[in-house]
Chains A and B, each alone.
Chain A
Amino acid sequence: MPKNWLSALARYVFILTVALIAYAAVLLLAGKNPILAYIDTFDFTLSSWYGFSEVIVRMTPLLFTAIAVALPSRAGLINVGGEGQLYLGAWLATWGAITFTNLPASVFIPFLVLLGFIGGGVWAALAGFLRAKGYVNETITTLLMNYIAPLVVGYFVYGSWRSREPGASAFPQTAAFVQEARMPRFFQTRIHLGFFLALLILFIYWFVLEKTKWGLKIKGIGGNPEAAKRMGIEVNFYLIAVMFVAGGIAGLAGMSEVTALHGRLRAGFSPGYGFVGFLISWLAGGRPLGILAMSFVLAIVFSSGSLLQITQGVPFAAINVLMAIILFIVLMKPNLRRLMS
């Protein structure tokens, strides 16, 4: 077992090293200094408690969206719709937050968590249902639904939900939520309850899959749906349920972003957390600790995106190049032992 562990670690380090070297080459070509860029990134993220806390903040939605991809993948489903599910989770939570404004926080927060979960869950379950019925492949539906979800949010924030506060109404966003609807933050940083919720869900994800009968069924379905069906497992039910839960988890990413950080729903508030979650789940091979580690790394990458824009004048979109490079290397499945010899 420890040997497996070491080789997995070696693999991650190898992938990241190669990716960073390749990215450095890209920066050089763009006329930037990669060394300075990397030093800046380190200075502003890992070298201070504040920088570190911001990485954790970035990491929170990534954890959710990565689990939202990893869970269905165990049942043989490819969920590329994390982004859309995130939006719908935020959307339904926002509806709750601006509708029931006089609930006490102890009720309000769990209620919003529930709404966020349902919003993303139902959105994803739709794709699960179409798949279970044999109409459309879930990869296609979840992908395409990503384009619809931000439009749904847009329809409301440009329309009936748009803030009427002076100043704020210039932007497509809702009014600020009441304080009771805001998820608590900790340690005088922006680290919020969502992070601990994500860790809890990551633990549950591991426990359910490795220890429970439902996990065994899910893995059975992923390993051989035909056999699972014949062993009396309700495959269609599980396809829908797993998509619902996964979408719900992605919905929590959106819900916690709007309630803890922004305090209101904004059009286009996600810089692509749902897509990065897919990358993380892939990198981690669905393993819980891998998800944890890769979310952290990708959160640093993300932070560096906005950072380098300011310090080095590298456009934010440049981090997409880095992520694409990582994905490429992962897809090539480098075989370390062969490379070494």
Chain B
Amino acid sequence: MTARDKARPLVSLRKITKRFSTVLANDSVDLDLYPGEVHALLGENGAGKSTLMKILYGFYTADSGSISLDGEKIQLNSPLDARKHRIGMVFQTFTLVPAMTAAENIALYLPDLSPVLDNEKILSHLDSLAQRYQLQFNLNLAVRDLPLGDQQKVEVLKLLTAKARVLIFDEATRVLAPHEIEGLFNIFESLKKDGYAIVFITHKMREVLQCADKVSVLRRGRLVETIDCSQATESTLVKMMFGDVEPPKLEIRDKRAEKEKDVLLELKGAGTAPTAVGTQLSQIDLKLKKGEIVGIVGVSGNGQRELVDAILGFLPLTEGSKFIRSRDATSWTPKKIRSGGIGFIPEEPLQMGVVPWMNLVENTALGDLETYALYGGFGLDWPGVAAKVEESFQTLNFEPLDPHRPVRSLSGGQLQRVVLARELGRDPQVLIASYPTRGLDVHSAAATFGVFAQLRDRGGAVLLISEDLDDLFKFSDRLIVLYQGKIAGTFAPQEIDRHKIGHLMTGSQIEAAEGGG
């Protein structure tokens, strides 16, 4: 690579604009990508990062603006076009066939796959690539048996074998444990040396400062600025991401109430039946006491969903027992558990929490029909429901929403508030929250944690399931690590560091020479 190459951008985006009905997702954005550089795209959720890169990948076409490659204007109408121009993208959710081996997955993606597969040749080619870029792992394992860090390597290898020069990573670290994130950054380093241009989409400043050469900050679809990472600090980046609107302070641990000893929810040696698709739980001992937030740490797919379902009564326990406020609830129905004071924030509110075409009031009534039924069920107290909705929104300090709009027309943050208001309106003692801030902007996320703190402070308890280590460390009073359906450890957040947790999460050995972070 010569100095001249560095001076000329490999890819230039000019005045890219993209509108989705009412949302201006990208507003006249300029971006230059240089070979041998990691270029971070930073911005809060909904800022338009994914949209911009999906345009470069031919997934969406821009309403206006142009793209040039090596100084020549190109037209990208489909991902196939982009691949022909050697642009590749790793999506937020991986696109691998779980039952096939890593090698097969990669072969499937090759542009010049021969009619009769020459496995030897493909494998040796992959091996040499893997060696060169520190991507080693067992290529002959089925993808579903690979840890997520290795699945990511499969995605990278896929792009490399397809000869991509521009590699786009969309929220690539979201599902990775800390040591796997470091591994990914090392891969970036070796790719940089060979002149690849890398785009790294993220909403975490720490990662930007760790791995990127340049950073472009997007805010509400507009490019705020592109700067060299050598000049960036966390505080300059915060300013750029949020403008004058300071992100609300999320720190709420200090306000924690005196801890009481009452156990609200307990699992004793709980286990579930083996399943073909999910994770089998075994020997789960878990106590949720009054006035605490317990965080479940783990790479998703290690039994989080099953744990929630077991607590809520959707998944029967095949061993052990469950107690709700010291009463044996092992064989309670979901309905009984729900009326026993347990609330639930599902991981996908739209899919699992509400009926999309019904409005706010109807959805609230549906969550608590026994309360609102009149004349033994022959009528419903609609004014009562509406009043309750208003009251819950007020107590939670949420901005009121139109109660008669179908909830599917609400944004992710608004929807989350609907579910929160409904669940907390029922005065639960225990709230089970699955990935409650996934896809939320900072303000909605802060509001959500504020609500959890409220509940905790008035003597309730929250079981917080999340994949965001930052949040878990910040808000939990206790952390429980879940790995392959078992509890791999229980800690107070101050007595463990991220790396140790990361290794417990992935079941990997802790190397002797450990830096600690």
Interface residues on A, range: 10 to 19
Whether A230 contacts B380 by the Cβ 8 Å rule is: no
Q: A223-B355, A227-B355, A230-B312 are in contact. Are A212 and B367 (CB under 8 A)?
A: no
Stretch at the interface among B147-155, B217-225, B249-257, B356-364: B356-364
**Which of A219, A226, A233, A234 is B358 in contact with, Cβ under 8 Å?**
A219
Within 8 A of A (CB), among B494-514: none
How far apart sit A219 and B356, CA to CA, in the bound complex (Å)? 11
**Complex: chain A residue closest to B336, CB-CB:** A232
The answer to the question of B231 belonging to the interface, with a C-beta cut-off of 8 Å to chain A, is no
B57 contacts chain A at the CB level, 8 A cutoff? no
**A220 sits at the interface (CB 8 A):** yes
Chain A residues lying within 8 Å of B379, measured Cβ to Cβ, are 211-212
Residue from A214, A217, A227, A232 in contact with B346 in the complex, judged by beta carbons closer than 8 Å = A227
Measured between beta carbons, the chain A residues less than 8 angstroms from B358 are 219-220, 223
Instruction: Determine whether B74 belongs to the interface, using a CB cutoff of 8 Å to chain A.
Output: no
Tell me how far the C-beta of A205 lies from the nearest C-beta in chain B, rounded to whole angstroms: 14
Bound: A242/B145 CA distance, A: 42
Cross-chain contact B346 with A213 (CB below 8 angstroms):
no
Q: Is A224 an interface residue (CB 8 A)?
A: yes
B339 lies within 8 A of chain A by Cβ: yes
Q: Which residue of B lies closest to A214 (CB)?
A: B377
**Interface check B335, CB cutoff 8 A:** yes
Say yes or no for B174: interface residue by CB 8 A criterion.
no
Query: Which one of A213, A224, A232, A233 lies within 8 Å of B356 (CB-CB)?
Result: A224
Say yes or no: B355 contacts A211, CB within 8 Å: no
Q: Which residues of B contact A231 (CB under 8 A)?
A: 338, 366-367
A229 at the interface (CB under 8 A from B): yes
Of A219, A220, A234, most buried by chain B (CB within 10 Å of CB) is A220
* A159-218 interface (Cβ within 8 A of B): 211-214, 216-217
Q: How far is the CA of A216 from the CA of B369 in the complex (A)?
A: 9
Report chain B residues within 8 Å CB of A230.
Answer: 312, 314, 334, 344, 346, 352-353
Q: Which residues of B contact A223 (CB under 8 A)?
A: 355-358
Provide the residues of chain A in CB contact with B353, threshold 8 Å: 227, 230
Residues of B366-383 whose CB lies within 8 A of A: 366-367, 369, 372-373, 377-380
In the complex the two chains form, what is the Cα distance from A325 to B372 in whole Å? 46
- CB-CB nearest in chain A for B339: A232
The residues in A between 287 and 303 inclusive whose CB is less than 8 angstroms from any CB of B are: none
- A226-B351, A230-B346 in contact; A213/B367 too (CB < 8 A)? no
Say yes or no: is A228 at the interface (Cβ < 8 Å to chain B). Answer: yes
Name the CB-closest residue of A to B377: A213
Give the number of residue pairs across the A-B interface with Cβ within 8 Å.
66
Q: Find the A residue at minimum CB distance from B373.
A: A213
Cα separation A232 to B354 with both chains bound (whole Å): 12
Minimal Cβ-Cβ distance residue in B for A222: B355
CB distance from B371 to the nearest CB of A (A): 10
Q: Is B294's CB within 8 Å of the partner chain A?
A: no
- Whether B351 contacts A220 by the Cβ 8 Å rule is no
Query: Are A229 and B355 touching (Cβ within 8 A)?
Result: no
User: Smallest CB–CB gap between B430 and chain A, Å?
Assistant: 15
User: Of all chain A residues, which has the CB nearest B353?
Assistant: A227
State how many angstroms separate the Cβ of B88 from the closest Cβ of chain A.
34
Q: Given contacts A219-B355, A220-B355, are A228 and B380 in contact (CB under 8 A)? A: no
B296 on the A face (CB < 8 A)? no
Contacts A227-B351, A228-B355, A232-B334; is A213 near B344 (CB within 8 Å)?
A: no
B380 touches A216 (CB 8 A): yes
Complex Cα–Cα for A220 and B335 (A) = 15
Please measure, in the bound complex, the distance between the C-alpha atom of A156 and the C-alpha atom of B351, giving whole angstroms.
49
Q: Does B52 contact A (CB under 8 A)?
A: no
Pick the most buried of A212, A220, A223, A227: most chain B CB atoms within 10 A of its CB. A227
Q: Mark B306-347, 1 if CB is under 8 A from A, else 0.
A: 000000101000000000000000000111011100001010
C-alpha gap A229/B353 in the complex (Å): 9
* Nearest-Cβ distance from residue A267 to partner chain B, whole angstroms: 42
Of B338, B355, B362, B377, which one neighbours A232 at CB under 8 angstroms?
Answer: B338
Instruction: Check B335 against A211 for contact (C-beta < 8 Å).
Output: no
- Whole-angstrom CA separation of A211 from B375 in the bound complex: 11
State whether the Cβ of B143 lies closer than 8 Å to any Cβ in chain A.
Answer: no
Question: 5 nearest interchain CB pairs?
Answer: A223-B355, A232-B338, A232-B335, A213-B377, A213-B373
Binding site for A on B (CB under 8 A): 312, 314, 333-335, 337-339, 344, 346, 351-358, 362, 365-367, 369, 372-373, 377-380
Partner-B contacts on A (CB < 8 A)? 211-214, 216-217, 219-220, 223-224, 226-234
8 example contacts (A-B, Cβ-Cβ < 8 A) are as follows A211-B380, A213-B373, A214-B377, A216-B366, A216-B380, A227-B355, A232-B334, A232-B337
Given contacts A219-B358, A227-B346, A233-B335, 12 further A-B contacts (CB under 8 A): A211-B380, A213-B372, A213-B373, A216-B366, A220-B358, A226-B351, A227-B351, A227-B355, A228-B366, A229-B334, A230-B346, A232-B335
